[in-house]
Amino acid sequence: MKEKQQSLLLESAARFPPPKGVKLSYGTAGFRADASLLESTVFRVGILAALRSLKTGSVIGLMITASHNKVSDNGIKVADPSGGMLTQDWEPFSDAIANAPDPHSLLQLITEFVKKEEIGFEGRQPAEVLLGRDTRPSGEALLEAAKQGITSIVGAIGTDMGVVTTPQLHWMVRARNRGLEASESSYFHQLSTSFRCLMDLKPEGISKNGNDATLVVDGADGVGGEKLEQFKKMLTGLCIEVRNRGDGILNEGVGADYVQKEKVAPRSFGTADAGLRCASLDGDADRLVYFSVLPNENNKIELVDGDKILSLFALFIKEQLSILNEGVDKKGNDSYQARLGVVQTAYANGASTDYLKEMGLEVVLTPTGVKYLHEKAAEFDIGIYFEANGHGTILFSEAFLCWLEASHKTLLSTSEGSAKQKAASRLLAVSQLINQAVGDALSGLLLVEVILKYMGWSIHRWNELYHDLPSRQLKVKVVDRTAVVTANAETVAVQPIGIQEAINVEIAKYPRGRCFIRPSGTEDVIRVYAEATSQDAADSLASSVAKLVDQYLGFGSS
């Protein structure tokens, strides 16, 4: 590294000293903490993003958001060249630089890393990073700090995309690196065009089943509600009402995380909405759940979570694939035996996993975090991944898409209007509609709406696909959440010693009982998930395991 570069780094780092006595770590989806602690971290992640851009010769993304967390928190997510999350190989470096105590130790870490990764500073195109932020009040100042980090690398450019949803930013990074236009209008254009195409391809004479009614969306008082309000004008054939568009406090009593965890209607929804098809986005619009308010039940809801969205998508894709393969000889001549697989986490309701396996699908389990699910889903020709909390998407392999495009072309010239040609058109349109960079509440919502129309299903019919086992999620505050270490896709706690045996004793008391604990990677808590055959049993299993967590690791309040 040249002297000029070194002094630029030292000089700018001196303006962003790290907070004293705080250790930050790259969690489930990047750094997250109280916003007042984050300036130095986002500045340093800005440097990392510029280095990543130099290393890959591609555009990188930085999103200032704390997603589902409370409004006073903030955070930073990094989008790699594919539009997916930052490669896990770079996470240790991000941890190290975030916690470097002073500019000189920061410079030393950077120098060593640049050498190890063989990052060249000359003779290549300059580093470029796209920046976005959600609606949090702390976002503007943090985005500026990130920009200063980026421009601490000589020649690097930070392009501010403004207030956007997290998936919009990831989509733009993916588009730019494929030589396509990366703007909000091109994003809206692609989604609305493929949505229209899928709507036009719905079978004729399908019964309506109440699905023509307005879809009512809870915008979590965040960026997603704002964007959907703008976008809905471009969507013909779908009537959307958006509530919680930013007048209330972000994520407080609203949003996908609240609705899914508490299983109650968000603010501004009540018994007057009973029976309506409703959806909820999270704070940065990368999660989506559906729900329907139950009549006379004190804001209780029928929850249609990420597992059900996954099941609906899997059903639809599987049907289109079988139409395409109808009449094809067993040797597979003239066909592509696409490997369709689904990816879930331990939070997936046991009934959903049974359902997907009964459909004959390959089901893979990974730890929590899109970075893990995405990686696994990419191993299939069509990989569908969803967390129960509503974060997920569909990935199509390049090889499959190549075959599909060629096959579609042939079908158009030989049998236009045939069932096969329409199935191929539908799959191609899905690959355009769904955000293949990352889970996206807006594109996911449009795909759900299209499939419900295609099936002629109401939200209630959809929810009947299978019956969820009653479940409960709790959070426990502990002294040090890193004391919990898990294995086997987070289904077993290997540390602290003895806690898993104690959990097993509790589980054994309940028929079909299942329970696990894990440290959150976005909040300072241990999460507890329990499932059993009745709600009372699930509640009681969760609360007895929460007590165990408190006894082993907590402040001794139980």
Give all strands (DSSP E) within 333-391, no chain letters.
340-344, 362-365, 382-386
User: For residues 391 and 426, which CB has a smaller minimum distance to ligand G16 in the complex?
Assistant: 391
Residues 20-49 that bind ligand G16 (CB under 6 A): 28-29
Query: Measured from the CB of residue 166, what is the shortest distance to ligand G16 in angstroms?
Result: 7
CB of 238 to ligand G16, least distance (A): 24
Question: Does 284 show up as a binding residue in the annotation?
Answer: yes
Cis peptide before 496 (omega within 30 of 0): yes
Tell whether residue 67 is among the known ligand binding residues: yes
Instruction: Pick one of 246, 470, 521, 554: the residue that binds ligand G16 (CB under 6 A).
Output: 521
| Least distance (Å) between residue 389 CB and ligand G16 | 5
- Interface with ligand G16 includes 370 (CB under 6 A)? yes
- For 374-383, b/e burial (b = at least 16 CB within 10 A) is bbbbbebbbb
Of 50-69, binders to ligand G16 (CB under 6 A) are: 67-68
Closest to 338 (Cα-Cα) out of 361, 363, 356, 313 = 361
Q: Which is nearer to ligand G16, 47 or 63 (CB)?
A: 63
The stretch among 121-129, 387-395, 508-516, 548-556 that binds ligand G16 (CB under 6 A) is 387-395
The nearest distance, CB 288 to ligand G16, in angstroms, is: 11
Asked if 489 and 367 touch (Cβ cutoff 8 Å), the reply is yes
Minimal distance, residue 195 CB to ligand G16, in Å: 23
By CB under 6 A, is residue 527 in contact with ligand G16?
Answer: yes
Whether 58 is a known active-site residue: answer no
Residue 254 touches ligand G16, criterion: CB under 6 A: no
In the set 84, 222, 369, 392, which binds ligand G16 (CB under 6 A)? 369
Q: Do the annotations mark residue 193 as ligand-binding?
A: no
Which of 389, 393, 421, 473 contacts ligand G16 by CB under 6 A?
389
* Minimum CB–partner distance for residue 39 and ligand G16 (Å): 20
Report whether 128 contacts 53 (CB < 8 A): yes
Q: Which of 134, 286, 375, 449 binds ligand G16 (CB under 6 A)?
A: 286
Nearer to ligand G16, 146 or 424 (CB): 146
The DSSP output letter for 483 is G
Set 53, 67, 194, 292: catalytic member: 67
Tokens found for residue 171: 């989509």
Work out whether 136 is an interface residue with ligand G16 (CB under 6 A). Answer: no
Tokens for 259, please give them. 């609705």
> 334 labelled as ligand-binding?
no
Q: Which residue is associated with the tokens 């082993």? A: 552
CA distance 553 to 558: 11
Q: What is the dihedral of CA 62, 64, 65, 71, to 10 degrees?
A: 180
Q: Can you say how many angstroms the Cα of residue 288 is from the centroid of all Cα atoms in its chain? A: 9
According to the annotation, is 388 in a ligand binding site? yes
Q: Please identify, using beta-carbon distances, which residue of 39 and 286 lies nearer to ligand G16.
A: 286
Q: Mention every residue, 6+ apart, whose C-beta is less than 8 A from residue 449.
A: 195, 215, 238
Does 415 carry a binding-site annotation?
A: no
- Residue 17: count other Cβ atoms within 10 Å of its Cβ: 13
User: Is residue 520 a contact residue for ligand G16 (CB under 6 A)?
Assistant: yes
Exposed/middle/buried for residue 91 (C-beta within 10 Å: 0-12, 13-18, 19+): middle
Tell me, by CB under 6 A, how many residues bind ligand G16: 18
554 touches ligand G16 (CB under 6 A): no
Query: Maximum CA pair distance of the chain?
Result: 72
The Cα 230–Cα 227 span in angstroms is 5
Pairing of strands 340-344, 362-365: parallel
> According to the binding rule CB under 6 A, does residue 287 interact with ligand G16?
yes
Determine if 168 is a binding residue for ligand G16 (CB under 6 A). no
Order of strands across the sheet with 73-79? 31-34, 73-79, 60-64, 128-133, 157-163
Asked if 73 is part of the footprint of ligand G16 (rule: CB under 6 A), the reply reads: no
Binding residue (CB under 6 A) for ligand G16 from 235, 523, 531, 549: 523
- Do the Cβ atoms of 360 and 341 come closer than 8 Å? no
> Among 148, 165, 431, 522, which residue interacts with ligand G16 (rule: CB under 6 A)?
522
Give, for 486, the enclosing helix (H) or strand (E).
strand 485-487
Q: What gap in Å lies between CA 172 and CA 186, rounded to an integer?
A: 9
Q: Which residues are annotated as a binding site for Mg(2+)?
A: 67, 282, 284, 286
**Would you please indicate which residues are annotated as catalytic (active-site) residues?**
67
List of residues contacting ligand G16 (CB under 6 A): 28-29, 67-68, 282, 286-287, 368-370, 387, 389, 391, 520-523, 527
Which residues are part of a known binding site for substrate? 387-389, 518-522, 527
